[in-house]
Amino acid sequence: MSEKQAPFWETKTLEEMSDKEWEAICDGCAKCCLHKFIDDETVDELAPTAVIFEGEQVHYTNIVCSLLDTKACSCTRYEERTKLVPDCVKLTKDNLGDIFYMPSSCSYRRLHEGRGLPSWHPLLNKGKKSKMHQLGMSVRNKVVYDHDVELDAFEDYIALWPLEDID
């Protein structure tokens, strides 16, 4: 009797994955589409930034990029996203060092830190995102669009739920 083969995310490092495998690791939570801010000790106030250094505190908000379909939690302009939204973070094998920028539940971050995929991941649920949504691990029903809010008032939108991780 042949033994069941372990899935690729258990046998390969992120760097060893094919492009297709790499894309499949994304759980589609869309937390990376939330606006984030950092605490910078060299300035007195919180401010939006595109640059972050390891060890700095990241504050997530519930303000989301206007290109996101907030029900499906998918980008409406995926192919052109980095052109249309210059600070859209596209995680690749080349910028894995910046992974601390991602929420701790991000599946790339989990694998990078040796924590495996969570039980709600679509790869473990017949490709479906429903368990992730049910458990509140995506942005669905929790966000406002950036074009609907005054970004200067971002402190009013700081949220803790994006930092949650389970499993």
**Contact residues: ligand SF4, CB under 6 A:** 26-33, 65, 67-68, 75, 81, 85, 88, 91, 102-103, 106-108
**Which CB, 27 or 37, lies closer to ligand SF4?**
27
Residue 5 has which token pair? 């083969």
Under DSSP, the state recorded for 78 is G
**Cα 15 from Cα 11, distance rounded (Å):** 12
Q: What is the DSSP letter of 142?
A: S
Shortest spacing between CB 67 and ligand SF4, in angstroms = 4
Taking the C-alpha atoms of residue 101 and residue 89, their distance in angstroms, rounded to an integer, is 9
Nearer to ligand SF4, 46 or 72 (CB): 72
What is d(CA 155, CA 167) in angstroms, rounded to the nearest whole number? Answer: 29
Q: How far is the CB of 94 from ligand SF4 (least distance, A)?
A: 15
d(CA 163, CA 161): 5
- Considering only CA atoms, which of 141, 159, 150 is closest in space to residue 61? 159
Give me the least distance between CB of 64 and ligand SF4, in Å please. Answer: 7
The residue (of 44 and 94) whose beta carbon lies closer to ligand SF4 is 94
Report, in Å, the least distance between residue 130 CB and ligand SF4. 16
**Cβ closer to ligand SF4: 126 or 147?**
147
